[in-house]
Structure 1
């Protein structure tokens, strides 16, 4: 008679996945060069027959500044404001289907901003590997030239 023992340490273990989820949002970034012209921003996004729109709260944008790694392997970074403004429109669901987006708002001079429209397809990626699931992002950039996918 033969006995076989299975020890968890001897079996290949799946790579751990981070316990985070992407929020179902359309993100609009206003570059620093256009920020002085924008007082407020309104976004309407329609996907799969459902639309949502609202005035966006424009928050300061940041870039990560690498602070290097220590010999024991711990690495760090800090966030630094970059002069951009970022707004988010939360959608009930976000898929890889095309989105019709319309951006409008008010300029700092009191006049309406030009209404900008575009259709774009959100991007899917697997930043932590396919075993950890797909992340869908919908990023736009609004500047003096118009609205484009970021």
Structure 2
């Protein structure tokens, strides 16, 4: 029985081509200053309820309408927080700075809305207390904007808009 050794060259060529392709994925294109990552952003609406209103709010619901159809995405409000600076050890570019997170008395949530357009939509936000009583029921028009989670040079993510409730008033961004 005559056994010939297998030629390793095709395997090395395939491995080299794969490594070259993988390295090219991180370049972000010729002349790019920063690479683009695979991070994305979901289309949808964020809701922020500021203190003291948030203390009474137990649940939220949304109704989002455009082109004659409406969607009612799920949204869950959670306690929000704010960053509190803890100072820096030194000055200059090598200084180490810290911060801690502290509850701010508010609540926040995000509702994914597939196919949310970058044109005006009608949103009805309803906030209820623990007994199911309506605290806020407002319809607002908002225009979702494109998001760029990696910067504009990497392409856009999902369209998003934000609603803020403060002192019973709903504002948009």
TM-score bracket for the superposition, by shorter chain length: 0.7 to 0.9
Residues 64, 71 of structure 2: 8 Å contact kept? yes
Between Structure 1 and Structure 2, which shows a larger proportion of helix residues? 2
Give the alignment partner of residue 27 of structure 1, picking from 35, 40, 46: 46
Distance 1:127 1:66 in 2: 25
SS at match of 1:64: strand
CA shift at 1:36, angstroms? 1.8
| 1:80 matches 2:99 | no
Matched with 1:4 is none
Pick the structure with greater CA Rg: 2
Mapping for residues 89-128 of structure 1, pairs under 5 Å? 89-108=111-130, 111-124=133-146, 126=148, 128=150
Residues 37, 109 of structure 1: 8 Å contact kept? no
Residues 73, 112 of structure 2: 8 Å contact kept? no
Number of aligned pairs? 141
| 1:52 matches 2:74 | no
RMSD: 3.1
Residues 25, 94 of structure 1: 8 Å contact kept? yes
Structure 2 stretches of 5 or more lacking a match?
1-23, 25-29
* Structure-2 change in CA distance of 1:36 and 1:22 (3 Å): same
Structure 1 stretches of 5 or more lacking a match?
1-7
| 1:147 matches 2:170 | yes
Residues 53, 89 of structure 1: 8 Å contact kept? no
